Structure 1
Amino acid sequence: MGVAVITGTSSGIGLATAATLARSGHLVFAGMRNLDRGDELRAIVSREELPVKLIRLDVDSDASVNEAFRQISTEVGEVDILVNNAGVPGTGPVELAPMEVFRQSMETNFFGAVRCIKAVVPSMRQRRTGCIVNVTSVAGQFGMAALGPYTSTKWALEGLSESLAQELRPFDVRVAMIEPGVVATPMTTKPKPSIPVDHPYYSSIRRLLAYFDASLEDPTSPLEVAETILRVVDSRTGKLRNPSGRDGAKMLLWRTTKTDEAWVDLAVASDADWSADVKRATGVVAKLPLS
């Protein structure tokens, strides 16, 4: 069992992972930007007497990351496991999404992970042991209309992870990516915006929302993703990419069975053809008024 640091643990996948790793015997430092949002995790920890310690960790801040890892080092020594989970959504067509959405998404989803990685790698490399798990997404391997800001961050994190894995392989430090599909978290279940029919990207946004709504009718729990992370951590697998959730692997297969051009051309397929393609590839019945 080891010392694990998990980012973004106030809800969703991060909260589930903190509890799951602790139940398996790991000592977990549960990082979150605002400790006032930790009541749900505190209740689980208290009820089950889990080895979890909440710590303020704002991955957007160099100072916060440095201070958090300094505190951990002082208290227990070296970190054995890092799970980079903290993330924010970033949606909207590239033309219309504000630059601030791109900047904030990249700051948290990509640079936040880099900050934490740089905090643990020197010790892991010197000790020739350790595991770094980056929670990316199926969006780290393919783009979809109206998800440009978010997808960009996940592609960047996947590229970083692959490079890092090769760099650290000679030192027996493992790097793995977790690639969930649609997971029932506060990020995905909050009320969806109303899109006016005269919006220039109405069709693309409507299809994206329809897929999410349909997938969430039989939702993947954050606990399923947490179990994937636990298996990666405890099995000592060298597998780099690890799809997770009910539609993670199916969505990746959907993309890889199409040429680039065929994937792009889905944007001009009829609603009937698009819905049929989604169902055939993923099993998800995305309901749309058919054109």
Structure 2
Amino acid sequence: MKTVLITGTNRGIGMEAALAVGRAGHKVFATTRNPEKAFNLKQQIKDESLDIHLYKMDVDSDESVSQCINTIIRDHGSIDVLVNNAGIVRHGSIEELPLAKFKAVMDTNYFGAIRCIKAVLPSMRKNKSGCIINVSSMAGKISLSPLGPYCASKFALEAMTEALAQELKPFNVRVSLIEPGIINTDMAHEIGQNEQSLYPQVRRIGHFWDTSLQSPVPPSLVADKILEAIESSSWQLRYPVGPDAEPFWSWRTSMDDEQWVDWNAQEDKEWYSAVESTFGMNCRPGELEKEK
């Protein structure tokens, strides 16, 4: 049995991860900014009598992270596993999106993970034991407009995690990245919300996401992969998750950078036709409404 701290457990991947790890017999410290809103998680904990303890923690705050993790270590001893799952998405063209939203997504998705890592590392390093799992995304390997701000945060997380793995292996602390594709979460549906923009990519990616989510991949699939990484003794760094994750990466690497830019810079008519011929998916405006 391991003690596992998971951030961002109010819903989606974080909630499913907390439940999967708890059901596997581990003690879970499930953290969220607003524990009072974690109705579904609380009900599942009660119904299944799971060893899951809910804590209030805002990964954007140095004080909140320090206070929460110090309290857990004081009351329960060392933390064996940290799962950095808390994340937000902000999307839009680089020109139109306010700078504050760029800062917000970096603060949560990148600096939030670093805050938690720095809080648990001294004891892991001293004990020469532990595991840090950072939930990234295929967006941490593939930059796609209008997800520039989100991709930037995940690219940063991937780079930092790769360096961290090098630093911690001599101390017997395993480090892993979970890289989901398109998963059926509230955050994914936020990307599908079409917005007015001068740039066609903002509108088109909404149509693409909405169509993709018609064949939903549940967040429990990611939770199972997180559990696999927790219970593994492997030093594997990256864990792609979902039916589209590895194929999408293979498709991206089949093009050079200039071809990738050109593919996404096409006019609407050509872009929608390219999506249909490449993925067999018609995401033209109005198609979803016809199906409904």
* TM-score normalised by the chain length of structure 1: 0.93
Q: Is residue 2:204 matched to residue 1:226?
A: no
The counterpart of 2:198, out of the listed 197, 200, 207, is 200
Structure 1 segment 1-291 matched on structure 2, within 5 A: 1-190=1-190, 192-196=192-196, 199-201=197-199, 203-271=200-268, 273-275=270-272, 277-278=274-275, 283=279, 285-288=281-284
- 1:11 partner amino acid: R
Percent same amino acid at aligned positions? 42
Deviation of 1:280 (Å) = 6.0
Q: Deviations over 1:155-185 (max 9, x none)?
A: 1100100000000011111110011111111
Shift in alpha-carbon separation, 1:91–1:125, aligned structure 2, 3 A:
same
In 1: Cα distance, 2:280 partner to 2:30 partner: 34
CA–CA distance in structure 2, aligned partners of residues 284 and 236 of structure 1: 39
State how far apart, in whole Å, the 2-side matches of 1:145 and 1:164 are.
28
Deviation larger for 263-272 or 143-152: 263-272
8 Å Cα contact 2:192-2:205 kept in structure 1: no
By how many angstroms is 1:193 displaced? Answer: 3.9
The Cα shift of 1:192 comes to: 4.5
Native 8 Å contact 2:194 2:202 kept in 1: no
* SS of match in other structure, 2:126: helix
Q: Would the aligned equivalents of 2:193 and 2:206 in 1 still touch at CA under 8 Å?
A: no
Q: Structure 1: which 4+ aligned runs deviate by more than 2 Å?
A: 189-196, 267-281
Paired residues of 2:207 and 2:283 also in contact (CA < 8 A): yes
Question: Number of residues paired by the alignment?
Answer: 286
Q: Secondary structure at the match of 1:109?
A: helix
Report if aligned partners of 2:8, 2:33 keep a CA contact under 8 Å in 1.
yes
User: How far did residue 268 of structure 1 move?
Assistant: 3.2
Deviations 1:39-63 (A, max 9, x none): 1100000111111000011101111
Do 2:194 and 2:206's aligned partners in 1 also have CA atoms closer than 8 Å? no
Alpha carbons of 1:227 and 1:284: their partners in 2 closer, same or farther (altered >3 Å)?
farther
Deviations 1:187-232 (CA, angstroms, capped at 9, x unpaired):
1224954444xx420x212221122112101111110000111111
One-letter identity of the residue aligned with 2:21: L
Moved more, 265-274 or 139-148: 265-274
Cα RMSD, aligned residues only: 1.8
Larger deviation: 162-171 or 236-245? 236-245
Give the direction of change, closer, same or farther, for the CA distance of 1:284–1:52 in structure 2 (3 Å limit): farther
The verdict on how the C-alpha distance between 1:251 and 1:280 changes in structure 2, with shifts beyond 3 A counting, is: farther
SS in 2 for 1:114: helix
Q: Which runs of 5+ in 1 are unaligned?
A: none
Letter of the 1:253 counterpart: S
CA distance in 1 between counterparts of 2:119 and 2:18 reads 19
2: distance between equivalents of 1:27 and 1:241?
Answer: 24
**Cα–Cα, structure 1 residues 192 and 214, in superposed 2: closer, same or farther, change >3 Å?**
closer
CA contact (8 A) 1:136 1:157 kept: yes
Answer with 179-188 or 131-140: which moved more.
Answer: 179-188
